[in-house]
Structure 1
Amino acid sequence: MTKAGRRPLVAGNWKMNGLRSSVSVVEAVRNGLTPAIHDAVDVLICPPSTLISSCVAATYGSPIAIGGQNLHAKPSGAFTGSISAEMLADLGASYVIVGHSERRAYHYETDDGVHAKALGARRAGLCGIICVGETRDEREEGRTLDIVRAQLAIGVPKGATAADTVIAYEPVWAIGTGLTPTPTDVAEVHASLREMLGRLIGPEAEKVRILYGGSVKPSNARELMAVENVDGALVGGASLVADDFLGIVNAYAP
């Protein structure tokens, strides 16, 4: 367990990457996890929706969870090309990423939309990983805390619990760039998010996991995961390579 008894979570977001042959990466991660790591950290992989069923089959009987990368807020309907939380759950997913910065930027998702999707995830029994983060311009303007707190205030549904909600702080300027904020910067943002969660959901906020994401790799994982109020990582590109992803997971090795 990490701070305040929160069990860490390392989640891999494959984004729009992966064909059927890529299930071998999941199998390699499964085979590379030691019993000690099983006991120390939760591991999640979020492949494209086309691979969820295959990845669920590949991890059957293992502690690895499989999740989705996006969902529609409604359970069903005339929404061509969309996938609902119920569909994800039916495939065997147990988590879903909500409001990733790329969805916000390229698909114009709003904080209100994130809120609706988080409710949809809860409705289907999924744990929603609600993403927040600032752009480079917002950081340079000194608005980081205002931005992420506002995103959190609108995005997190009333009555959220540690069982149905995870928060992921991903500074937009750090995603895929190789740049990362300093541990001091990360600590400041995560402490502010924890405090804001307390305002929103009360004492339950101490149980909710807050992940850091943005150019996490084996070489910096241990330092970042040791930061106060950092309860794991949301990993992008490094999760596509089994050895790299395992290197990040192993930051929690006893």
Structure 2
Amino acid sequence: MPGTDLDLLSTAARAAGEIAMGYFCKNPAVNDKPDGAGPVTEADLAVNAMLEQFLAEARPDYGWLSEETEDGTDRLGTKRQFVIDPIDGTRGFIEGSKDWGHALAVVEDGRVIDAAVFMPVRDLLFTASAGKGAARNGAPIQPTQTPLEDATILGAKINLTPPFWKDGQVPPVKRTFRSSLAYRLCLVADGSFDGMLTFRPSWEWDIAAGALIATEAGAIVTDQANQVLRFNNPHPQVPGVLAAGPKLHKALAARLEPGLSKP
């Protein structure tokens, strides 16, 4: 069994990839979750079952929070928690996109301390430990220093519309999109894109791992009110995410409309 938590997460993430690839582009069974929560495939459930067993056997005293496991209150009484998205970007997985992956994190006292995001189709493993930097396939990564007027931001179209910006002035940035929030954060971490944002309430399992990876790479990651993200909340959501290199993050945060409505 791997020794450190980061080794454990990395091993588990690659094992998740092996399972998911067995279903990819093979018409896996798909169901819709209640209350419009999105689709879930048999691959999501198979990966979740493996991870829950593997990680619980390795760290039986850790709490558990996963998109595909019914949540409870037990995790709130534990010192450390696994925060897991078995497949982040399920819609992309169903569509045959390359941009889905597995997001695994360990949280302690509300902070992510270890994280792994694995993108199986691209064979990319992003990793980070608190205070030790971030890496892509073992090589150190860092965000860009691109100024606002030249920046390319990852996010949905609605986030770059006037209601969310002071005086209705949308920042002069280019926009593109990837389906996985964890991957978006990693793409900011490694400098592939300059920033990412979402003004929707964001589930912890979507962002915990990517948030640490981006932070350890040197980006600033906050919620939409420019507050530090906290995890293992009783209701496991945070109010949106903004991530970018320090100067770009400051420029974007300064332009946000206070008291944003939610798309």
TM-score for both structures, normalised by structure 2: 0.28
More helix by share: 1
Structure number with the bigger relative contact order (C-alpha 8 A, sep ≥ 6) is 1
More strand by share: 2
TM-score for both structures, normalised by structure 1: 0.28
From the CA coordinates, give the structure whose radius of gyration is larger: 2
